[in-house]
Structure formats: C-alpha cells, structure tokens
C-alpha cells in the first residue's frame, strides 16, 4: 500500500500567519484527501484534491482559508491561512487503498497562539 510522508509534524504559529503542510506519496494516486482532527471529534474531511483540477471543498471549508495545491500525482499541499486559535488541530492527508480504506500521513499538529 502507499506510504505518505507528511511535514511538518508539528508547529506553533502566531495568529494571523499561514502554514503550508506538505504530503508526498510514494506512488501515483488520483485523489488525495485532507482531514482535520480536533480533540474529541471525528475526522472531518476538508477537501478532495485531484491533479489538474481545483480541489473540492466540503461544507464549512473554503478555498480562501484552506488553499490546496496538487501539482502532480504524488504531491499535495494544504495551507491554513490567516490562522486563529480555533484552527489549532491535527491535519491529516490521506489516499484511498484497497480494500475500501485509507492510508494516512502521520499528521501535522498545529497550535495557534
């Protein structure tokens, strides 16, 4: 199955700044997914990133706040823009694997102060 390298693993950022999270997959994949995991909450899908097209955002998430790039079939970035303490969370990228399931990156633990 696919192996995903995600970085940074953690960061502490000032409010109002932006952070870009990178995910590199060891094989070509059509779709990559970005999730947010808040304490005590289930994983929430932010957006689906396809190579060569704009990302598809879920309800409650907008491109201006979470711009996504997908320049090729093995790489994607998620930027958390104009951060506030409410953006403190774990951010995860993932790809689908057979049987129905996901492989996840190791996550980025973001703290906004």
Partner 1 sequence: TQLLEQSPQFLSIQEGENLTVYCNSSSVFSSLQWYRQEPGEGPVLLVTVVTGGEVKKLKRLTFQFGDARKDSSLHITAAQPGDTGLYLCAGSSGGSYIPTFGRGTSLIVHP
Chain residues binding partner 1 by CB under 8 A are 4, 6, 9, 31, 33, 40-43, 45, 48, 92, 94, 96-97, 99-107, 109
CB contact at 8 A, 25 and 75: yes
Closest CB to partner 1 among residues 4, 83? 4
- Rg value, the chain, Cα: 13
Ramachandran sector of residue 92 (left: φ over 0; alpha: ψ -120 to 50; beta: rest): beta
The residue behind tokens 């997908």 is 70
Shortest distance in whole angstroms from residue 18 CB to partner 1: 22
Shortest distance in whole angstroms from residue 107 CB to partner 1: 5
Closest CB to partner 1 among residues 17, 56? 56
């Amino acid at each position: 199955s696919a192996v995903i390298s995600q970085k940074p693993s953690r960061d502490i950022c000032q409010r109002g700044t932006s952070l870009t999270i990178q995910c590199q997959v060891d094989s070509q994949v059509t779709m990559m997914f970005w999730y947010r995991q808040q304490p005590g909450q289930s994983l929430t899908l932010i957006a689906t990133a396809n190579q060569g097209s704009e990302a598809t955002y879920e309800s409650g998430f907008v491109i201006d706040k979470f711009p996504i790039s997908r320049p090729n079939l093995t790489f994607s970035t998620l930027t958390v823009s104009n951060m506030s303490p409410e953006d403190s969370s774990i951010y995860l990228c993932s790809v689908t694997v057979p049987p129905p399931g996901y492989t996840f990156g190791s996550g980025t633990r973001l703290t906004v102060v």
